[in-house]
Chains A and B, each alone.
Chain A
């Protein structure tokens, strides 16, 4: 079975500090993409960052970066210089490039940035 596990239901960080959100996944496929999505109270899912599994280099997007450990099936998100607007639910997800291309989401981590 394909699964995504986010073991931190809630986290908090001081404004301007750095925080890391954890994610592990399980799949027998070799070709897949990993994602982090942000869902603020407005409920709109916003793509934060995407990683292609065949690329060893970790993806970065401004203040957001990932630590992708393919052998360990780990995909953590690091947010640097945290801002109040980063307060949201963060979902880890992956999609395999075979079959029906279905997203599998984790249960989410609620992040609160404190002033």
Chain B
């Protein structure tokens, strides 16, 4: 069984530029999560999808961050415009269903904003 895939693995951009990250969850997993992990901290949930609907986006900075999961499979997370404080690892995770406590994480994308 293939794991959660993310791309790119690394990205360096200048502040005020835009960037997009892609996540392909494990096949058949209904629930998808995006986390932000700042250096020295634990992951913080940004947004949670159940199929193609948003379950929780209370900690997503909506003035600059957006995310979609149009067909209930792949997901993209976008930042526009980026700020220095957005430098972090962005982790994607998936789960078979809402309420299933098992989460499977991807390798993450390390974003550096200069």
Q: How many residue pairs at the A-B interface have CB separations less than 8 Å?
A: 53
When each residue 26-41 of chain A gets 1 if its CB lies under 8 Å from chain B and 0 otherwise, what string results? 0000000101000000
- Of B15-23, B68-76, B78-86, B105-113, the segment with at least 4 beta carbons within 8 Å of chain A is B105-113
When each residue 85-110 of chain B gets 1 if its CB lies under 8 Å from chain A and 0 otherwise, what string results? 00001010100001111110111101
In-complex Cβ contact of A105 among B43, B102, B106 (8 A): B43
CB distance B108 to A43 under 8 Å? yes
Nearest opposing residue in chain A for B103, CB measure: A103
Distance in Å: Cβ of B73 to nearest Cβ of chain A: 20
Chain B residues touching A, range: 20 to 34
Which chain B residues border A11 with CB–CB below 8 Å?
none
CB distance B42 to A107 under 8 Å? yes
What separation, in Å, do the CA atoms of A57 and B93 have in the docked complex? 28
Contact surface of B with A, Cβ cutoff 8 Å: 31, 33, 40-45, 48, 55-56, 89, 91, 93, 98-103, 105-108, 110
